[in-house]
């Protein structure tokens, strides 16, 4: 019997396309560390590098059945990590510029009514973004971020694995980050046009 570790990337990816969890796990274990190092060199943040690599693997699993890769899987993964890392840096720069602008306005001493309304709308929209998460994802996210429970406490309370908790929180954060960045871009654009 041939061990999965002896399979080529192409053979493993063919298995992933058919929903083979073992093939996916082998690819994950084969590439996670080197992709994390690659992302970390670009982003300079362990947490963001982990998010990038997790997003790449989540996308690989969820979209494998419809994906066609025209280069080697290794090249595809490295390119994906590089692009997603650069996107994360760009989004962070936009968010930082917005935050700097907001802090400057607040430093004047008193925000005008429009800024207060905009800030309150932002808080409401973030709450709405969390409320739009699927119920179980929302519950796990709130238990972690609002209530401050550890992954193991959440896993024990909900009778699920710690891995499931981590994966769910990562997916929730990815959804909310994407949603929030889109809002910030729109808000910044409207602010510039006014």
Among 29-38, 112-121, 146-155, the least confident range:
112-121
| Torsions phi, psi for 110 (to 5 deg) | -155, 120
| All domains in the chain, ordered by first residue | 1-94 (1.10.1740.10), 111-194 (1.10.10.10)
Res 28: pLDDT = 93
For the chain, the residue count is: 194
Among 36-40, 59-63, 100-104, the least confident range:
100-104
Distance CA 60, CA 67 (A): 8
Res 77: pLDDT = 93
pTM attached to this predicted model: 0.53
Distance CA 138, CA 69 (A): 33
Indicate the average pLDDT of the chain: 79
- Break the chain down into helix, strand, coil percent, rounded to 5: 85, 0, 15
């Amino acid at each position: 019997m041939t061990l999965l570790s002896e399979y080529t990337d192409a053979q493993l990816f063919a298995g992933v396309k058919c929903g083979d969890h073992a093939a996916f796990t082998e690819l994950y274990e084969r590439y996670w560390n080197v992709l994390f190092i690659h992302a970390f060199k670009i982003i300079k943040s362990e947490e963001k590098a982990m998010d990038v690599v997790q997003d790449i693997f989540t996308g690989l699993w969820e979209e494998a059945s419809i994906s066609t890769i025209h280069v080697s899987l290794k090249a595809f993964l490295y390119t994906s990590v590089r692009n997603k890392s650069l996107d994360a840096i760009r989004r962070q720069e936009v968010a930082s510029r917005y935050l700097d602008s907001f802090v400057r306005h607040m430093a004047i001493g008193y925000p005008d009514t429009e800024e207060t309304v905009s800030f309150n709308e932002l808080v409401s929209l973030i709450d709405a973004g969390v409320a739009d998460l699927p119920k179980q994802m929302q519950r796990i996210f709130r238990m972690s971020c609002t209530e401050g429970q550890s992954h193991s406490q959440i896993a024990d309370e909900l009778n699920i694995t710690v891995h499931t908790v981590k994966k769910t929180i990562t997916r929730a954060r990815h959804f909310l980050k994407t949603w929030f960045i889109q809002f910030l871009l729109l808000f910044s654009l409207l602010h510039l046009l006014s």
